[in-house]
Structure 1
Amino acid sequence: MEMLSSRVALGIAAGVCGTLFLGYCIYFDHQRHSDPEFKKKLHERRRAKKMAASSTKRTTVFPDMKDHEAVQRFFLQEIQLGEELLAVGDLENGVDHIGNAVAVCGQPNDLLNLLQQTLQPQAFHLLIQRLPAVAPRIVKATPAMQEEDVE
């Protein structure tokens, strides 16, 4: 009998705690929504998030492929940015940046083998699908080869 009463008491305590927490949430949600600046802040936050997502996707400026230091800096920057975006769950943009890094890498096969072991399978498959689209962007970004460059 004592076991049953302690379970009932525990159930009542849990119910009271749950009700208090729910009341707390409702009260502060009401406070937040009654703020005159709430809608303005919400629209600004959504607009900023949308602009950030669209700006990181297609504003990649590829370095001059003859400048090895610039290519190395670009490679490290794109790998780091891609890893950060993947860590926060932005699979699309993260894969785009890692694809840019693979495209300028001197040994892409070795890098792809490493990425296959470290990336999530869906991210790696998306990367493989997107790689053919990266090469034309690099060709457009690099100036035309001059005759002295061709031997």
Structure 2
Amino acid sequence: MTRSRRGVVAILVGSVLLCPILYCIYFDYKRRHDPAFRKLLRRTGKHHRQREAKLQNLRFRRLIDSRISELELNRRATLPPVENSRFILDNLSIGENCASQGDYENSALAFYTALYVYPSPEELLNSVMADDNVRPVLQQMIKLRPFRPPAQRYHVSPTIL
């Protein structure tokens, strides 16, 4: 009786281990010889990549929105110009450092924050876009999340910067 149990267990274990291998062989054969299956795989892969890109863009937009709401809660509209310009310069340097290291998400967030606080973001955007390392980050950032300055601007003297 124990021999028959061992035989049944051995057959079950063997089939459990053999089924994935046989499926891989079948999948490979189907992928190589069936054009419709290859087309289906390409379409599925393309759909998956598009969905992942949309999810990443959505996550980035939410991150920017949370950064802006956090900025609105923490910042007052009337800051001393020196402190406000230091905040802008710090964010610009953080953005440039992150862009040079390849951390594009944090770089874009720092640039977006600096643009959000700066009184004339068009000037700042034009001056920052001159840097070749930063240009792709800003283009991607603006494509994902168009910049909308706040209704009430912070008061900073541009000569301090």
TM-score where L is the length of structure 2: 0.42
TM-score where L is the length of structure 1: 0.44
Q: Which has the higher contact order (CA 8 A, sep 6+)?
A: 2
Higher gyration radius (CA): 2
